[in-house]
Amino acid sequence: MMKKLLILALMLTSVIIMGFAQSQITLRVLYYLDPSWPANSAANVNLWFNEFTRQYPNVRIERENLFDEPFHDRVRAYAAAGNLPDVMYVWPSGRSDYLHEQRLLKDLTPLINRDGIRNLYLPITMDPSQQHAGYMAMIPTGITTTHVFYINMEVLNDCGLQPAETYEEMKAQVSVLRAKGYETILIPAESEWVMQSCLFSMIAGRFCGAGWHERILNGQARFTDQDFINALDFIRQLYADGVIQRSAVSVNYGEGPELFANNRSAYFIDGDWRTGAFASDPQTGWALISPSRQNNIRIGVFPDIQGARLNSSSSVIIGTGYAMSAAIPAGSAKEEAAWNLIKYLTGREVSQLLIEQGYQVTTSRTDLNFQAMRLEPMQRAIAQLGRTFKAGTVVIDGVFPSEVYSLINTGLTEIALGMRTPQQVASDVQRAFENWRRRR
């Protein structure tokens, strides 16, 4: 009898083990880990994923952390090999346009509707027309202002200056700042997307006016029109006037925040997400700019430009977020696990931490209690950014295909180095746009 019971117990244990093994799901995740976050950001991310696997013990995460160009290179390689990760960090267009165009990302609409979570996110982030695919290929974590003008009052006060309200005023500050050993504007432009996304998209909107991209897409305007050439020429003028030094094209993107924190320049240009690079580490208390010094940093947008059709504007797009590979079978256990991870990464807990660290400014979530959050001066200032400008225009790599914006990216560097003229760059871009339109 005992022998039979032992055999039965062994058989039952074997069934349980086999069932557990069968229920185990492995998710490959490609995560965008920005090294400019506070020092323990990697530890925070580890905690998020550990918490997720605690809640879902049958899910095993194989996570790959990359940043900037290495991240994009890896995604393209995976896409070309037909081996995309199960869950990945993506853009609503621009840098991820080929994923949208080739429909490599699963439409999340049925899952959103099934779980009734639409009202937990801002309406614009649940609008499929805001994504290049035309459907809900990803859940955005927020809305992004890609152009932010950071103002260092420590530097300006040392020179007896006040923040410039017009470009002419800022140009007049160059010699005063230089005499004290300061640069005027610092922008880490070694990665070519930075100049396009964080400065030129805003400049193009000011010279070409609201809705300028739609006129080009509809054939009512061209990149070779004078307005767009004037926008390119303004970039040339920035370097010619010494407002931006040509050495900016060799400043690595990761170096920018530290240089600004060390008072290299009076002004700094980056996106709203960059505030997280200055915030205090919640564990160690260390900050690139201490909370007391943060009171000396003002946040707004580029000064008014004489001759522009539009001023007091910035470049705005729905933010990045998380998507699922279209290769995952509908209704499968893997789809459910991947969907749970996407909901977790865009959920209240992670969203609140991103806000508190300054990495996410305008969250997509509608259920956060901002009054209960621990926010520092720069974080509170960036939260008020939307009140400092009157109009939002498009981000170029968010509305045009890669063969178009990549030429703009490269062209901006060539203009900076005096290798090509604004007219030549505009002609190159227009030809690329026409070739793209013919293929559609």
Query: Which residue type is seen at 279?
Result: A
Q: What is the DSSP code (8-state) at residue 329?
A: P
With bands split at pLDDT 50, 70 and 90, how would you rate the model's confidence at 369? confident
Give the separation between CA 202 and CA 305, rounded to whole angstroms. Answer: 11
| pLDDT at res. 394 | 92
Render pLDDT for 166-189 as a digit per residue (tens, 0 to 9).
999 999 999 999 999 999 999 999
* Whether pLDDT at 38 is above 60: no
- H/E stretch holding 142 reads strand 142-145
pTM for this structure?
Answer: 0.75
Fold assignment, 22-140+320-363: D-Maltodextrin-Binding Protein; domain 2 (3.40.190)
Domain 146-315+387-439 in this protein, CATH class: alpha beta
Asked if 15 and 49 touch (Cβ cutoff 8 Å), the reply is no
Asked if 309 and 234 touch (Cβ cutoff 8 Å), the reply is no
- Sequence ranges of the domains in the chain: 22-140+320-363, 146-315+387-439
Residue 219 CB coordination number (10 Å): 9
| pLDDT at res. 8 | 47
Burial class (CB in 10 A: 0-12, 13-18, 19+), 20: exposed
Give the separation between CA 157 and CA 245, rounded to whole angstroms. Answer: 21
Render pLDDT for 259-304 as a digit per residue (tens, 0 to 9).
999 999 999 999 998 998 998 877 788 899 999 999 999 999 999 9
Higher pLDDT, 420 or 380: 420
| pLDDT at res. 398 | 86
- Stated length of the chain: 440
